[in-house]
Structure 1
């Protein structure tokens, strides 16, 4: 941290990078910049300065051992530069802080301390208070567009905003997982200072900010590392995205450890979601990353690291990571709500309610069990010893919507009443809930896979996307696959971008009140009791319903010793509920579901939550009505 003003409420932050372009002496009349570049596959490197009449002359970099090249130049913020490798190819800085002209343009020297942070007192929030809201910055109009939505999210009851990847990637639009330059925020969304202003504004509203980071691969266009740093990759080991990164090399490990610290310290993010951690293939490095963050983030800050990990490695959640995205929970809910059983849903089509009961009672559905979509191999580790807050639960996210052929939202695939019941479980379970943008309005707008590639790569992505769904019955013939949107078409991005000025009335208002009411209950009655909550198990409600079993009761012991019980029925028939759970009803859907429960019946498409002990009356416009009213979403 570098304070540059006398205002005690304003701070300026910079993460000093051991590579890339690091400004030194920015406060002096003649600033200098230190450049450091790892190019073990090169004999010589020059820095080429661009687009300014007073730009320095090309500068030879000095070899400093182990493939490193260094130089210092009399230049400051705004300077555009590239590295020229072996007198031939000009490449951007792999640690570029900004690419104003895109990934194929020059890198830019920045002064990270130029932004004055107004909410430097912000220290974050405890993990158990987290309610995540995932969004795509570009689809919401860039950083300034997201800022406009923050007050409504805070009012809704969201406590953390999670941004899909911001690292620079090819073209103007994309999901961000085709990462090329992991340190450079994508220029199409706005400037680095506008990103900081977004984070600063969120902190002022009490909102945490998370960023999705991609450490397992590089995208197919614009990555030059293989030309000048071949040892960055593991020779002979391929992934679906190209050569595997070699996390046994300390240069690779340091590159990504510093990237995590850069987002957390220079940009003041409160947490990271690590994409496809299983594809990194090095759990020792994951632990090392968590240890680095813990050791180097300033004392007092509450920073959280979250995994996406297909391997369900519970051991990583015991001390190093706050939580994991619980795909198992999503897949159970999705099969129950839609009846779909193709693709990876095949592993959850056999008794999904039993698997959901295990998810609610123990964390993962697969805890070393053989999985039919993993060639019968064992998947996962025992997880019942972990707290429920070690799992992030969701009904929708960018993957589960956008990786569908047509990008349909869940509401387009199931019944509204059943969806409300599942949503109540999502929002009231002690697992950490995650919402996807516009979900709270009952949106049926698709979120489709979009990119902005050109030429042969665009053709390959389009055709590859269509081949991907060839095994699905709805797209088994070539004619049906032509309905799959072209990822590179501008219209695909437009189709996925919510309108900025949609009126809040009708169904949108009704759905929003439903979410807000449940989150109000969570904030006032559950959050203060979640730190040491423990699952007490979940059981399937057996019945003779003709449509099969789709109901359960789950129980948790909360921090103060009281018990939270939630009964859920996603079936089309009522089931016996005997005995009736103890405690006061704190939420119900549909209206008057508790009347049936008092008579020993859980109605169809219903969710009821009970809490034992004293349940305080709420204060405030919405709070007092939630606990006792008949219709919590009206």
Structure 2
């Protein structure tokens, strides 16, 4: 089935419509304003109709034998949301202004996570385009856009998408997304897309009505797993793999971030994740395309490198472990999953920085099981580090950012650690100027589902503080969504100007001193070691014949430091001298050898 093409195919004077419905022998095609057409059966569950005169702008849907009308699961555009008809779009009509863009190598990535709907007041692709100069000037080199696959309602984090090929119409048309990516490339910015292949949202997913999309053989937090390895699973696999290729080839995304891959279950010989990575890289050719995973299992095998240091499957993983240790250092919070990291925090911080994962096969009480595999052999560019992201803010009871409750000197210290670390840094939108707007979870379903979400969020996160309060923001209310929109007018406030300058200067230092050392890091494998220096942390990475060193006191108390800083000082925050290091102080240095 590798020749399967999902979605309509445009020809000069006609359009070919295809629909996979193995559960029904007969399907009708309905073009808006016309009588339904009986589709021809092509075998293996496929139905097809070629319609003369149908072209760009044609709206269509499919009618099942029981009368249920459904949109195209591979629709390119849903102008009336997920329950309405699909629209034929000519994706080849867009004229790329920068068709020769080849992307950026992994060592140059400085990632900026954004949610299109709240990044600007307008919440559209076109409005986001107007902010690209700000990001380029900041020192960002890669945007990571939270999921955009069409979801029900007017607002959503994106993880409830049901139309994987259609950018959500509330953000604009497909051509608007192309214009955003094109403009990013003009400024030297890569664009990565967050994609969800572990589940479909609860509203608007019609696939089960006509295809064996789910299997009882595998379970996920959202119910039965997607059928990637059972009977009739081959078209299901193709649907997802071709979707990944579609984003990279048709929209020229520079990579994908795969959500919660630990929930993608597949017992076939070549796991879906391996096949997807292989085929996406084949389709990308010589372009730099980066495939990133979120993986609670910390399975370092997915990040394996070949003899030349190139990723065999995936480029990097979001490193939750480094977030957790730096978050505890800055906030003192030890509830929930943080508790497993609080004991011997300095050592665990060193391990996260030097080796990637803190838990590499050890027992984790919060999970009630062992977690992770050894990761010290991997290059630092196999990990994406951060101190905030959509999950770590949004899964707090109030969706509050650290800046609203923690001292600025603590936040600057942990920022200086992750922004200059040889791991790949990722900022969350607005972090660079200290935005105080919350980022709570939000969605827009029908009232029955809305009530289930309200109850479900409390139960799911009941082990975290605050979720038993009576004044929680309603995740389904429009006001909750509006509260998350960045207020760009605050960018000129003195505190915002100061913090923005701080971030900009650190990223300039990274670009000048750290990035050049990372080009050969993949071939050399792991390069980090750490120790506790007196009561402070010392981490050292061997990179391209240099030793990048960090000495840090990530506490609110002065601590004893046994050794002096060696080599050229790249950056100093606070006072750190032999015998004593001030609170929230650190030194980055570079030595020969």
Change (3 A) 1:286 1:154: same
Residue 476 of structure 2, aligned match among 475, 488, 498: 488
Q: Pick from 347, 352, 356: which aligns with 1:354?
A: 347
Q: Deviations over 1:233-283 (max 9, x none)?
A: 112543222321011121111111100010001000001000001111238
- Pairing partner for 2:546 from 562, 568, 572: 562
Is 1:162 paired with 2:165?
no
SS of equivalent residue, structure 1 residue 306:
strand
| 1:180-234 Cα deviation digits (max 9, x unpaired) | 11100000001111110000000000000010000000011011111101x2211
Whole-angstrom distance in 1 between the partners of 2:441 and 2:516: 38
The yes-or-no answer on 1:316 pairing with 2:302 is yes
Residue by residue, what CA displacement relative to the aligned partner does 1:596-617 show, whole Å, maximum 9, x if unpaired? 42x4432211121001259xxx
**Cα drift, residue 386 of structure 1:** 0.2
Matched residue, 1:289: 276
Q: Which residue of 1 aligns with 2:227?
A: 246
Render the CA deviation track for 1:18-76: whole Å, top value 9, x for unaligned: 12211123xxxxx21111111111121011011x5xx5x42211111121112211210
Give the direction of change, closer, same or farther, for the CA distance of 1:96–1:85 in structure 2 (3 Å limit): same
Q: Does 1:92 align with 2:71?
A: yes
After the TM superposition, which residues 198-597 of structure 1 pair with which residues of structure 2 at under 5 Å, given as runs?
Answer: 198-229=180-211, 231-235=212-216, 237-248=218-229, 249-282=233-266, 284-297=271-284, 299-318=285-304, 319-375=312-368, 377-476=369-468, 481-533=469-521, 534-543=526-535, 551-559=536-544, 561-590=545-574, 593=575, 596-597=576-577
Task: Name the count of aligned residue pairs.
Answer: 571
Give distance in 1, aligned partners of 2:405 and 2:552: 19
Q: Which residue of structure 1 lines up, in the alignment, with residue 160 of structure 2?
A: 178
Structure 1 CA distance, aligned partners of 2:491 and 2:141? 23
User: 5+ residue gaps in structure 2?
Assistant: 305-311
Quote the Cα distance in structure 1 between the aligned partners of 2:409 and 2:291: 34
What CA distance in whole angstroms lies between the structure 1 residues aligned with 2:274 and 2:217?
25
SS of the equivalent of 1:171 reads coil
Shift in Å at residue 474 of structure 1? 3.8
With 183-192 and 576-585 compared, the bigger mean Cα shift is at 576-585
TM-score, normalisation: structure 1: 0.88
Cα shift at 1:535: 2.5
1:366, distance to aligned residue in structure 2 (A): 0.9
Q: Match of 2:48?
A: 70
What residue in structure 1 maps to residue 309 of structure 2?
A: none
Note the 1:78-157 alignment, pairs <5 A.
Answer: 78-139=57-118, 140=120, 141-157=123-139
1:630: which partner in 2?
Answer: none
The correspondence for 2:178, drawn from 196, 199, 204, is 196
Contact 2:4 / 2:238 at 8 angstroms: preserved in 1? no
**Secondary structure in structure 2 of the residue aligned to 1:612:** strand
Q: 1:58 aligns with which of 20, 25, 36?
A: 36
State the distance in 2 between where 1:613 and 1:348 align.
Answer: 33
Indicate if the aligned counterparts of 1:124 and 1:301 stay in contact, CA closer than 8 A: yes
Q: 1:355, 1:145 → 2: CA distance?
A: 41
* Alpha carbons of structure 1 residues 484 and 564: separation in structure 2 relative to 1, 3 Å: same
Give structure 1 stretches of 5+ with no counterpart: 1-14, 26-30, 544-550, 615-634
Distance in structure 1 (CA, Å) of the matches to 2:542 and 2:384:
19
* TM-score normalised by length of structure 2: 0.93
Structure 1 stretches of at least 4 aligned residues deviating more than 6 Å after TM superposition: none
